[in-house]
Amino acid sequence: MTILLQVEGLTKKFGGLTALSDVTFDLPEGQIMGLIGPNGAGKTTLFNVVNGVYPATKGKVIFKGKDVTNVKTYEMAQLGLARTHQIVKPLNELSVLDNVIVGACFGRQGFGLGKATPIAEEVLEFVDLADRSDQLASSLNIAQKKRLEMARALAAQPHLILMDEVLAGLNQSEITEMVETVRKIRDQGITIIMIEHVMEAVMKVSDHMIVLNFGAQIAEGTPEVIQSNPAVIEAYLGDPKLAQKLMQKAME
């Protein structure tokens, strides 16, 4: 099993605020890694540092054996790292097809326009947007825009996709469909890290999970291990033994 992405002691500070502190993990090729944590835990910041939107304060990111800490976002894209955004960023005044062609043209493979078009059409078929390809991206609804984000990332034929809350805002049947799509992408040999709040879905689909809270990595392991980890439960629900502790204090 080869390691695709290594993150070593990654720290990001915004002035006095530590958004990420000492995050370390290895991601083997071909896996789906779930990244969870309460709001403001630093999940999207982790994506932003890994893909070069923000420079790291400390630590290292190694992608395919190459040190890519603080490399520009477009260079990361060309190395084979694609990403979808939590707040969708469609190229509004371009057609759906052109949006995907941009992904194919400028991503890892750097296709020419002629080659990119059939690839983009194929990807649109895959995410079930083929019948919308001539529409402007701005005319899609939110679920379709999320699929468009996915299509743009896929069209680059990347090694790794960072998915930022692709399930948020979708209804139950859309979630089922999307989870199926995510699995199919993994089966094509693309490695995935997904940030997700829909626990049921992310637990079902992940091979491995990492939990962040206040920028620190509080747990790591398979979904089963995570589910029963007291630190994780505390991060989401508060201290499970709090009531007991308070009772004890009152008794004394």
Nearer to another protein, 42 or 80 (CB): 80
* 91 interacts with another protein by CB under 8 A: yes
For another protein, give the closer residue by CB, 10 or 101.
Answer: 101
CB atoms within 10 A of CB 252: 4
* One-letter amino acid of 7: V
Task: State yes or no: residue 74 binds another protein (CB under 8 A).
Answer: yes
Interface with another protein (CB under 8 A), residue from 27, 49, 105, 163: 105
Q: How far is CA 134 from CA 4, 75, 90, 101, 144, in A?
A: 36, 29, 14, 12, 14
Verify binding: residue 10, another protein, rule CB under 8 A: no
Stretch binding another protein (CB under 8 A), from 4-12, 56-64, 73-81, 238-246 = 73-81
Say which DSSP state 69 is in.
T
- Establish if 9 lies at the interface with another protein (CB under 8 A): no
Residue 214, strand partner residues: none
Among 78, 117, 133, 229, indicate the residue that binds another protein (CB under 8 A).
78
110 binds another protein (CB under 8 A): yes
Toward another protein, which CB reaches closer, 134 or 187? 134
- What minimum distance in Å lies between the beta carbon of 206 and another protein? 23
Please, are residues 24 and 50 in contact by the beta-carbon 8 Å criterion?
no
Interface residue with another protein, options 1, 16, 39, 134 (CB under 8 A): 134
Which of 91-96's residues contact partners 24+ apart within 8 Å by CB, and which partners? 91/137, 92/136, 92/137, 92/138, 93/136, 93/137, 93/138, 94/136, 94/137, 95/133, 95/134, 95/135, 95/136, 95/137, 96/124, 96/129, 96/132, 96/133, 96/134, 96/135, 96/136, 96/137, 96/140, 96/148
Compute the least distance from the CB of residue 151 to another protein, in Å. Answer: 11
Q: Binding residues for another protein, per CB under 8 A?
A: 51, 53, 72-74, 77-78, 82-83, 85, 89-94, 98, 101-103, 105-108, 110, 112-113, 134, 152, 156
